[in-house]
């Protein structure tokens, strides 16, 4: 009974329980988890510095890792989106450029294959007019693919 009542009265234990609950479901970046926990941390009367210290302890214990998050994110998104969209989303999640570059460099060699798969899934036929070409190109750009790859795919389909 003491452990249970102790956990209920210990704000740090409550915050850690909430953080591990989130991390058990999926990987989070440091920034994402910080934003997710900040409201709860305020309720428990943690200030910004205390929350940062808590999150750094989660990182040092291996519960939270930007590297694992980045690797998992790239793996999940690589066959749906291009490099540019993945980079933009990772930057929004607070992942630094060096880490992004490390996990995206192997993707560069396979991006044409993934771009073709995305195009073929959405469009069954080659563009028959300039308007259709533009529509398909805009779709591929919205998915984060490089314009040179898009031209390669769409122009190859015209021939």
**Whole-number Å distance between alpha carbons of 51 and 54:** 5
Q: Give counts: helices (H), strands (E), the chain.
A: 10, 0
Reported as a single tens digit per residue, the pLDDT across 26-76 is 999 999 999 999 999 999 999 999 999 999 999 999 999 999 999 999 999
0.75 surpassed by pTM: yes
DSSP notation for 118-150: HHHHH-SS---SHHHHHHHHHHHHHTT--HHHH
The domain locations on the chain are 1-64, 110-158
The pLDDT score that the predictor gives to residue 159 is 47
């Amino acid at each position: 009974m003491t452990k249970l009542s102790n956990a209920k009265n210990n704000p740090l234990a409550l915050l850690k329980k909430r953080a591990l609950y989130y991390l058990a479901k999926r990987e989070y970046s440091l920034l994402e988890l910080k934003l997710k926990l900040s409201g709860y941390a305020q309720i428990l009367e943690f200030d910004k510095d205390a929350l940062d210290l808590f999150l750094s302890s989660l990182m040092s214990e291996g519960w939270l890792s930007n590297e694992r998050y980045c690797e998992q994110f790239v793996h999940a998104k690589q066959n749906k989106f291009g490099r540019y969209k993945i980079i933009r989303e990772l930057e929004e999640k607070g992942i630094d450029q060096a880490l992004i570059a490390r996990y995206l460099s192997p993707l560069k060699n396979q991006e044409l294959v993934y771009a073709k798969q995305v195009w073929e899934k959405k469009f069954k036929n080659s563009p028959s007019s300039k308007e259709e070409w533009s529509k398909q190109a805009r779709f591929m750009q919205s998915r984060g693919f490089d314009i040179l790859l898009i031209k390669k795919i769409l122009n190859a389909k015209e021939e």
